[in-house]
Amino acid sequence: MSEQPKFKVTIDNITVEVPAGTTILNAARMIGGEVTPPAMCYYSKLEGSGGKCRTCLVEVSKGSEKDPRPMPKLVASCRTTVMDGMEVKNITSEKVLDARKGVVEMLLINHPLDCPVCDQAGECHLQDLSYEHGASGTRYEFDRRTFEKEDIGDYISLHMTRCILCYRCVFTAEQLTQRREHGILERGDHAEISTLLGKSLDNEFIGNVIDVCPVGALTDKTFRFKNRVWFTKPVDAHCSCTKCSGKVRLWMRGDEVFRVTARKDKWGEVEEFICNDCRFHRKSVSDWTIEGPSKIDRHSVISQGHYVGTKKQPVYIDKVIGKDPKLLMDIHKVSDVNRPEIELSKIDGPAHSDDFKKDR
């Protein structure tokens, strides 16, 4: 293979060199940290995904070295490829932050916000997104949209009210399974995920739609209301499965396996898709060879209590704004907890105030 040309792209004043054809979002993911735009619909493993949720909008302040004109509108970073010398503004652009706040608000106005009874709570991308970019209150004063409840089989439960129509599950079924049995019906704000004439989804790999769903619209029926995800402990395990790689993540409490999911990387994307047998039927420890505790570093809630060996996201805020951030208040002056010289990832298990005592 011939040498691929490398493009230089500057995102929020940080320059990286990426192969030609990389999208802005993936270039930003190579940098990592807070300069990475959030993505609700883009999924690097699914071809054709992205561009729909509009949370990853960025401002291109310089098109390329050859054509330095800025792009007139904000662009979806997940579907825009980089050009040589491109300059992108993400969190340094007021316009982007304002638009993103608007998108989050739009995503939430019809979302039921039933997190207390939602199985996805704790690992929900919409929760993370609204925590990071949303407003504290709503300006929406109308009834939220509802749908007729639909049963799509014994293993997957569909809550259409929670859906943000990212189309990920449609792409998953299209690209992973023999036949796609569900899709989007209707249009506009009444568009819904549905199967044709109430068919149930049964396909050997259809369980993966649960993992790709960024919200609680598609959840595991075998795990339904059994436990909260942050009480269960993620453990990497494998088995010799004839249908898939058998590399999974078990969510356990004591010796009990509450649910089985695929392993996800730090962007919340599945590393290897797993089959339905592994996901729904192997719920006993004896089915699996345990590898050890999983390292989760992105989702704040489910990583509580699992600090050891986690990888910290890089912090670029000084580079982004070009100077050290001026803190309104240094928390360490008033609190003994979270002392900077104590590395959280070195603490075994949940942090306790004893861990931060001076004389320890």
Partner 1 sequence: MKVLLEHAHVEGIRYYDTYRKNGGYRAVEKAFKMTPDEIVEEVKKSGLRGRGGAGFPTGMKWSFLAKPEGVPRHLVCNADESEPGTFKDRYLMEFLPHLLIEGLIVSSFALGCNATYIYIRGEYAWIVDILEQAIAEAKNNGWLGKNILNTGFDCEIYVQRGGGAYICGEETALIESLEGKRGNPRIKPPFPAIQGVWMRPTVVNNVETLAAVVPILNMGGEAYAKIGVGKSTGTKLLSVCGNVNKPGVYEIDMTQSVEEFIFSDEYCGGIPKGKRLKACIPGGSSVPIVPANLLLKTAQGETRYMNYESLADGGFATGTMMGSGGFIVMDEDQCVVRHTMTLARFYNHESCGQCSPCREGTGWMYKILKNLEYGKGKMSDIDLLWDIQRKIEGNTICPLGDAAAWPVAAAIRHFRDEFEWHVLNPDESQRRNFGLAHYADPIHVPTTA
**Minimum CB–partner distance for residue 86 and partner 1 (Å):** 14
**Minimum CB–partner distance for residue 260 and partner 1 (Å):** 31
Choose which of 20, 30, 135, 191 interacts with partner 1 (CB under 8 A).
191
67 is a contact residue toward partner 1 (CB under 8 A):
no
**Minimum CB–partner distance for residue 187 and partner 1 (Å):** 5
52 is a contact residue toward partner 1 (CB under 8 A):
yes
Rounded Cα–Cα distance for residues 224 and 258 (Å): 10
**Minimum CB–partner distance for residue 92 and partner 1 (Å):** 18
132 is a contact residue toward partner 1 (CB under 8 A):
no
293 is a contact residue toward partner 1 (CB under 8 A):
no
63 is a contact residue toward partner 1 (CB under 8 A):
no
214 is a contact residue toward partner 1 (CB under 8 A):
no
Q: Give the x/- contact pattern for partner 1 in 91-130, rule: CB under 8 A.
A: -------xx--xx-xxx-xx--------------------
For partner 1, give the closer residue by CB, 110 or 227.
110
**Minimum CB–partner distance for residue 166 and partner 1 (Å):** 9
Choose which of 33, 37, 38, 50 interacts with partner 1 (CB under 8 A).
50
Choose which of 65, 186, 272, 336 interacts with partner 1 (CB under 8 A).
186
179 is a contact residue toward partner 1 (CB under 8 A):
no
| 8 A C-beta contact, residue 233 and residue 252 | yes
139 is a contact residue toward partner 1 (CB under 8 A):
yes
Query: By the criterion CB under 8 A, which residues form the site for partner 1?
Result: 50-55, 57, 73-74, 76, 79, 98-99, 102-103, 105-107, 109-110, 139-140, 142, 145, 164-165, 167, 183-184, 186-191
